[in-house]
Amino acid sequence: MSPFDASCAVLATGLLALWMGLTDAMLKYLKPSMRPWLVLAGALLVAVGIRGIVRARQRERVAAGAEAHDHDDDAHAHSPDEHAHRQGFGWLLVLPVLVVLVLGQQSLGAFAAAHSSTRNLPPYSFDIAAYAASQGESEPGLQLVDVYLGAQQRGNRDYLAHHVVKLLGFVTTNPALGPRGFVLTRFLVSCCAADATPVKITMIDAEHVPKANHWVEVTAQYDPTYVVPAPDVPKPVMRVHSIKAVGEPSEPYEGLR
């Protein structure tokens, strides 16, 4: 791969990183707090790429004005075919850029959730009742991880058992739940999609069950007495009060408060 081509690849990667860092596209891969670092990295790559292109063009002009071109040919031990072969492999560096541009940005969904399990989560001290009071809402909007961990704590568990809350996630199915049950899922990230772990909450008594991977907004109440019908049905379990289809949010992942 020639210095000019390598610099073009660096520039393309930098422009992609910069575009993602300045738009919501980055939220498919990174948590919001990583935005300044992605923008900085993209800007540095753009600067390095432009500098490399300028220097490569300067060297080409110097070489074009030189008189001993034959000596340059002798100094390179590679045949034209071999050089082309190396160039072809070098441009594989641009494949990630092309994949993102052609296929678009896809967040983790039902397929990834079905092939991964929730890992041990760190200690959690979020007070759901205090948060709900501060919001002044009869049906406060919570993260799935708030409910998942809150159901394991006495104070939060009592609140969830006596109040309806609003949740947002995508649908995953489980045949053991029958025609009125599904699993509401959302991924929790610490840094980026590479460390994501699915947070799953079982929903029962739904008027209808949307298709897998569809995003829904659900109002539901924790049912501590429900006995799950199969070992692979996740806990906690909530009874649905209402459900509506929504589009995927610009920030698809959750993070600990």
210 prior amide bond cis, ω within 30: no
pLDDT value at position 49? 84
Backbone angles phi, psi at 79, to 5 degrees: -75, 160
pLDDT value at position 85? 47
CA 38, CA 20: separation in Å to the nearest integer? 8
Listed in sequence order, the residues at least 6 apart from 13 whose beta carbon sits closer than 8 Å to its beta carbon are 45, 49, 93, 94, 96, 97
Segment 167-200, tens digit of pLDDT: 999 999 999 999 999 999 999 888 776 778 899 9
Q: How confident is the model at residue 107 (pLDDT cuts 50, 70, 90)?
A: low
pLDDT value at position 229? 92
CA 121, CA 197: separation in Å to the nearest integer? 9
pLDDT above 50 for 86? no
Q: How confident is the model at residue 94 (pLDDT cuts 50, 70, 90)?
A: low
Q: How confident is the model at residue 250 (pLDDT cuts 50, 70, 90)?
A: confident
Q: 35-65 and 3-21 are packed helices; what angle lies between their axes, rounded to 10 degrees?
A: 160
Segment 204-239, tens digit of pLDDT: 999 999 899 999 999 999 999 999 999 999 999 999
Q: How confident is the model at residue 84 (pLDDT cuts 50, 70, 90)?
A: very low
Which of the residue ranges 7-11, 13-17, 145-149 has the most confident prediction, judged by mean pLDDT?
Answer: 145-149
Segment 47-78, tens digit of pLDDT: 888 888 888 888 878 877 775 555 555 555 44
Q: How confident is the model at residue 20 (pLDDT cuts 50, 70, 90)?
A: confident
